[in-house]
Amino acid sequence: MLPLAIAGLGTTELLIILAVIILLFGASKLPELARGSGRALRIFKAETKGLMDDDEPADDSRKTPEQRQIEARQVDVEAERQAALDAERRRHGDTTT
């Protein structure tokens, strides 16, 4: 039978680490902690996949409503920023853009 070894740690060390985690967070908080970690990993995985898919055209059907809302806000902020820049240029008489 092969010993359990993760990152060079043996079974005893992993059990001690698990016991310390249970003492720190409490047994009732562990499922919540695991759920939060799972969500964070899913989001991270989706974002890294999104970075790899940047060359492909955007597929709005795969985006969540929150992602669409954030993108719409980003477009609005960029439009406001561009309008402010244009107004500043007009105020200073610079129309060469």
Write the pLDDT tens digit of every residue in 14-27. Answer: 889 888 988 888 88
SS3 label, residue 72 = helix
Say if residues 14 and 6 touch (Cβ distance below 8 Å): yes
4 and 45 share one domain:
yes
Domain-ending residue, one of 41, 56, 71: 56
12 and 46 share one domain:
yes
**Which pLDDT does position 96 carry in this prediction?**
54
Positions of the chain with pLDDT under 70: 1-6, 53-61, 94-97
Range of the domain at 81: 60-97
**Which pLDDT does position 50 carry in this prediction?**
74
28 and 65 share one domain:
no
Query: How far, in Å, are 5, 45, 75 from residue 49 at the CA level?
Result: 30, 6, 22
Cα dihedral 14/16/20/26 (nearest 10): 80
pTM over 0.75: no
Instruction: Name the amino acid, one letter, at 74.
Output: Q
**Which pLDDT does position 55 carry in this prediction?**
57
Say if residues 11 and 3 touch (Cβ distance below 8 Å): yes
31 and 66 share one domain:
no
The structural domain count of the chain equals 2
